[in-house]
Amino acid sequence: MNGVRIDKWLWAARFFKTRALASKACELGRVQSNGVLAKAAREVRVGDILQVRNEAGDFVIEVLTLSEVRGPAAVAQALYRETEESKQARAKAAEERKAMFASAPAPSRRPTKRDRRLIHKFSGE
């Protein structure tokens, strides 16, 4: 096997839950292959550098092996290697999110019916 469609590979490597989500991410420009925006039908090969942006964060990975079949998580993690810069950037972003939520105090009680009405009125619902 010389190449695999990038949407199939991203699904098999468990970056996206469905192949449709993987192809949608390609359409929206959230996947780059060797610095070029990748369409869903683009072939990925061993040694390619992919930049993937999903809800878990931004990943910069190197393709180690190819697969069209989605398997267990341990097998999926063996398909690629994440760069050290990518790991550090994701750790830093996670720490910033954690610090942001830590600064906002948790409410002391649940909102009353009146509070909920005010919240809905304020948010425009």
**Is residue 122 one of the residues assigned to a domain?**
no
Which structural domain, as residue segments, surrounds residue 71? 4-103
The pLDDT tens digits for 7-31 are 999 999 999 999 999 999 999 999 9
Whole-model pTM? 0.78
Q: What's the whole-number mean pLDDT along residues 94-120?
A: 88
Q: Which two tokens stand for residue 118?
A: 């005010």
The amino acid occupying position 87 is K
Give the chain's domain count: 1
- CATH number of the domain where residue 30 is located: 3.10.290.10
Place of tokens 């192949």: 19
Residues 10, 11, 14: CA angle, nearest 5 degrees: 90
Among 36, 7, 48, residue whose Cα is nearest residue 24:
7
Q: Which two tokens stand for residue 63?
A: 């393709």
Q: Which two tokens stand for residue 58?
A: 């931004």
